[in-house]
Amino acid sequence: MPKILIVDDEQVIRSGCRQILEMNGYQAEEAADGREGLRKLAAEEYDVVLTDILMPEMDGMQLLEEASKLGKDVVFIVITGYATLESAINAGRRGAFDYLPKPFNADELIAKVERALEHRNNLIELRRLREERDRNLLECSNERARTLTIINSMSEGVVAVNRKRQIVLINPAAAKLLRFDDKHVIGMLIEDTIQNPELREIICQSLENVAKTQSFKRLEFTTSWNRTLEAGITPISDEKGEAIGAVAVLSDVTEEKKIEKIKSDFVSYVAHELKAPLGAIEGYLNLIIEGITAGNPEKEREMILKSRDRARGLIALINDLLDLSRIDRKRALKEMGPVDLKDLLQETLDFYRLRAENKSLRLGFAAEADLPPIRGNREDLSRLFANLISNAIKYTPDGGEVKVDLRRTNDHVCVSVSDTGIGISEEAQKYIFDEFYRAPNALAKKITGTGLGLAIAKKIAEDHHGNIRVESRENAGSTFRVFLPVLDRYAAPLANSGHA
């Protein structure tokens, strides 16, 4: 039920109005002057105020002024004895909605009040809508800030252009990738900012005939400063399918490209290394099958033996490749624990003793006492030293010597494997740890090998935060040294472990 306040110093008018209003289903209250009216207005909610202008204490104009400070959606109707336009305009200026000239009758009063109530409802609705809009705007600006923050923190570059080919948005990553200052390019044309012609061209294409080509375009290009970038360009279209812009997402794929190249080189290398022995085996088999060597059983047997050698070489190569990929697996998956190197080296040497004896090689081993164990993967370390020791035996002519030495140097344990073999030229030492590299003197002497043994050794050493070095002169033997870090928590000799 709407509540009406009647402010008038004339009691007759106050009670007359109240009766009319109550008869028409309104709730009405009275105030004898502006001050009392203001008090009531401040304390309670009213829908409409009927106020006289001329009153003691506080007149209607003052009341209007003071009431407007309360910030309430109350609608004022000014009761005025001077039915002049001037006082109505004055009251209107002060925020009154309407005026009621005296004398007035019941119908006129009710009509005015109803209009005022309608206006009040509109006011309330308007306020609600305004608040809603403000709330939406707030959300909107929050949303925008949030989106911008996200875009600006992306590692991919984002550039948006409008239909006129002006840059309208660019995040720091894109500015960095394209090497320009993001503060100054907004609004500039792409032909004045983007250096790469292919990227410009593809953005322009995306801006044309979008309806026909609603498509995502992909581009890989190399910048003038030699980075390979990948760009994904998507047209932005309005509901009619017209282009209103385009957005490009950029990322630097230089490193991936490098890795891809290494990988494909490796694969083709491996393919070749696998095909050669198989081709040789097939060649020998063809000779035997076609009867070309039929008159010569000696030669045929020789060929079969050679085929077997090639098959063995192939198996060794495949084992090495499997080793490589096993070592490349995440180190996290590997069990690392304390490894007693002395024990490990002894085991490895025992394995190769027979091979050394067959070549009349002396095999020596010296180890410092009380060495701390190191932290590592036993299987991998075993492979590392097996590769070094078997190489030493393989590249040392009959009657020579291979020595393994284990000692501590500061924070490292050093394992050295030295031989009196054919040695490695200074030139070849640069490549000796590369995959598939074989030293020329080894090839000339027809010593078989996969070219992977030392690459595997190096990988394992580095996996253990260690390193491997070679010292050698051609025809004067080689020494390979492996340094592995000693970990403090294993610094106590094994015998004392558990008595910390």
Partner 1 sequence: MAKRVLLVDDDADFLEIHKTILESGGYEVDTAATGQEALEKIRSRRYDLLIADLIMEELDAGFSLVYAVREEEKTRDLPILMLTSAEERTGFRFQLDKDKEWMKVDDFAAKPLSPAELLKRAAKLTENR
Where are the alpha helices (H) located in 395-463, listed in sequence order? 426-429, 440-444, 453-463
Contact range with partner 1 by CB under 8 A, out of 95-103, 177-185, 273-281, 492-500 = 273-281
Query: Does position 280 bind partner 1 by CB under 8 A?
Result: yes
Residue of 81, 364, 397, 440 that binds partner 1 (CB under 8 A): 440
Site for partner 1 in 288-347 (CB under 8 A): 290, 292-293, 299, 303, 306, 310
Candidate residues 287, 316, 447, 494; the one interacting with partner 1 per rule CB under 8 A: 287
**Is 161 or 303 the residue whose CB approaches partner 1 more closely?**
303
Q: Which is nearer to partner 1, 8 or 273 (CB)?
A: 273
Nearer to partner 1, 264 or 497 (CB): 264
Q: Residues of 459-471 as b/e, b for ≥16 C-beta within 10 angstroms? A: bbbebbebebeee
Q: How far is the CB of 307 from partner 1 (least distance, A)?
A: 8
Measured CA to CA, the distance from residue 54 to residue 76 in angstroms comes to 15
Tokens, residue 373: 């164990």
CA dist 380 and 457 (Å) reads: 9
Pinpoint the alpha helices (H) of 333-451.
341-358, 378-394, 426-429, 440-444
How far is Cα 327 from Cα 247, in angstroms, rounded to an integer? 43
Q: Is 129 exposed, middle or buried (0-12, 13-18, 19+ CB in 10 A)?
A: exposed
- CA-based Rg of the chain, rounded to a whole angstrom? 47
Only one of the segments 77-85, 263-271, 449-457, 462-470 lies at the binding site for partner 1 (rule: CB under 8 A); that segment is: 263-271
Joined together, the tokens standing for residue 342 give 């002395």
- Specify the pairing of strand 401-409 against strand 467-472: unpaired
Is the Cβ of residue 308 or residue 353 nearer to partner 1 in the bound state? 308
User: Helix or strand or coil: residue 396?
Assistant: coil
Which of 284, 395, 433, 483 binds partner 1 (CB under 8 A)? It is: 284
* Of 2, 6, 18, 23, nearest in space to 121 by CA: 2
Which position among 124, 211, 443, 491 is part of the footprint of partner 1 (CB under 8 A)? 443
Judge whether 393 and 352 are in contact, CB under 8 Å.
Answer: yes
Can residue 474 be called a binding residue for partner 1 (CB under 8 A)? Answer: no
Choosing from 19, 215, 222, 268, the residue that interacts with partner 1 (CB under 8 A) is 268
Tell me how far, at minimum, the Cβ of 306 lies from partner 1, in Å: 6
175 is an interface residue for partner 1 by CB under 8 A: no
Residue labelled with tokens 């284990």: 406
Q: Could you give the CA distance from residue 244 to residue 208 in angstroms, rounded to a whole number?
A: 10
Q: Which is nearer to partner 1, 95 or 283 (CB)?
A: 283
Of the residues 271, 304, 315, 476, which one makes contact with partner 1 according to CB under 8 A? 271
DSSP reduced 3-state for 78: strand
Stretch that binds partner 1, among 97-105, 270-278, 386-394, 482-490 (CB under 8 A): 270-278
The DSSP code sequence of 437-449 is: ---HHHHHTT---
Considering only the stretches 12-20, 46-54, 265-273, 464-472, report the one whose residues sit in contact with partner 1 under the rule CB under 8 A: 265-273
Beta strand 98-101 with 75-80 is parallel
Buried b (16+ CB within 10 A) or exposed e, 326-362: ebeeeeeeeebeebebbebbeebbeebeeebeeeebe
Residue 107 contacts partner 1 per CB under 8 A: no
> Please, what is the minimum distance in Å from the beta carbon of residue 396 to partner 1?
22
- The least distance separating partner 1 from the CB of residue 219, rounded to whole angstroms, comes to 24
| Per CB under 8 A, 445 contacts partner 1 | no
**Region binding partner 1 by CB under 8 A among candidate stretches 224-232, 278-286, 314-322, 463-471:** 278-286
Tell me which residue of 400, 389, 396, 383 sits closest to 461, measured CA to CA: 383
CB 431 within 8 A of CB 425: no
* 262 contributes a contact to partner 1 by CB under 8 A: no
| Binding residue for partner 1, selected from 56, 81, 279, 397, defined by CB under 8 A | 279
Nearer to partner 1 by C-beta: 143 or 265?
265
Nearer to partner 1, 126 or 305 (CB): 305
Q: How many residues bind partner 1 (CB under 8 A)?
A: 23
Q: How far is the CB of 429 from partner 1 (least distance, A)?
A: 17
| 260 near partner 1 (CB under 8 A) | no
Amino acid at residue number 70? L
Task: Yes or no: say if 211 and 242 are a contact pair by the CB < 8 Å rule.
Answer: yes
Instruction: State yes or no: residue 439 binds partner 1 (CB under 8 A).
Output: no
**Region from 83-91, 123-131, 219-227, 439-447 binding partner 1, contact rule CB under 8 A:** 439-447
Q: Pick out residues in 352-411 that bind partner 1 (CB under 8 A).
A: none
Among 95, 187, 283, 493, binds partner 1 (CB under 8 A): 283
Q: Does residue 38 interact with partner 1 by CB under 8 A?
A: no
Extended strands (E) in 190-252: 217-222, 228-237, 243-252
- Contact residues toward partner 1 (CB under 8 A) are 268-269, 271-272, 275-276, 279-280, 282-284, 286-287, 290, 292-293, 299, 303, 306, 310, 440, 443, 446
